[in-house]
Copies of this chain bind each other. A is one copy, B any other.
Amino acid sequence: MKYLADLEFNEDGLLPAIVQDVDNDQVLMMAYMNEEALNKTITTGYTWFWSRSRQKLWKKGETSGHHQQVEEISTDCDGDTLLIKAKQTGGACHNGYYSCFYRSLNDEAEFEVIDEKVFKPEQVYENQ
């Protein structure tokens, strides 16, 4: 794959991949891709990642149906991070929020929830 020449996978063979909503520009999540996950993302048009905790490939939305349809894949100046612009179905966060970044620092230097849930995780993941 010609694109591999421009990428620098880390010592674990992974690249951090930032997913950004192509419609509203919200940053949705950050997860890791290995070469196979990136290849599947490119060939299928949906995001795939490598789970470091489960040590397996996973397709975003394989359980929830909340997949991400890829519109654009960019890399940074060092080729060691990816930026994926995608159409998000449902919500990106397994906690029920549209974006995983639903907590922000407030004036008391505490992270505070700033968003509303868009789905109920207990319903989406009830068969798990």
Counting every copy of the chain, the complex holds 2
Q: A18-B27, A76-B30 are in contact. Are A3 and B100 (CB under 8 A)?
A: no
CA distance A76 to B113 in the complex (A): 10
CA distance A114 to B25 in the complex (A): 18
Asked whether B20 lies within 8 Å of A27 as measured between CB atoms, the reply is yes
Within residues 59 to 86 of chain A, which ones have a CB less than 8 A from any CB in chain B? 72-79, 81, 83
Q: A103-B6, A108-B2 are in contact. Are A95 and B77 (CB under 8 A)?
A: yes
Write out the residue numbers on chain B whose beta carbons fall within 8 Å of the beta carbon of A110.
Answer: 2-3, 6
Q: Residue A125 at the B interface, CB < 8 A?
A: no
Write out the residue numbers on chain B whose beta carbons fall within 8 Å of the beta carbon of A114.
Answer: 74
Q: Residue A29 at the B interface, CB < 8 A?
A: yes
Write out the residue numbers on chain B whose beta carbons fall within 8 Å of the beta carbon of A108.
Answer: 2
What residue of chain B has the Cβ atom nearest to residue A4's Cβ? Answer: B109
Contact of A111 among B3, B18, B105, B111 (CB under 8 A): B3
Closest Cβ–Cβ distance, residue A48 to chain B (whole Å): 15
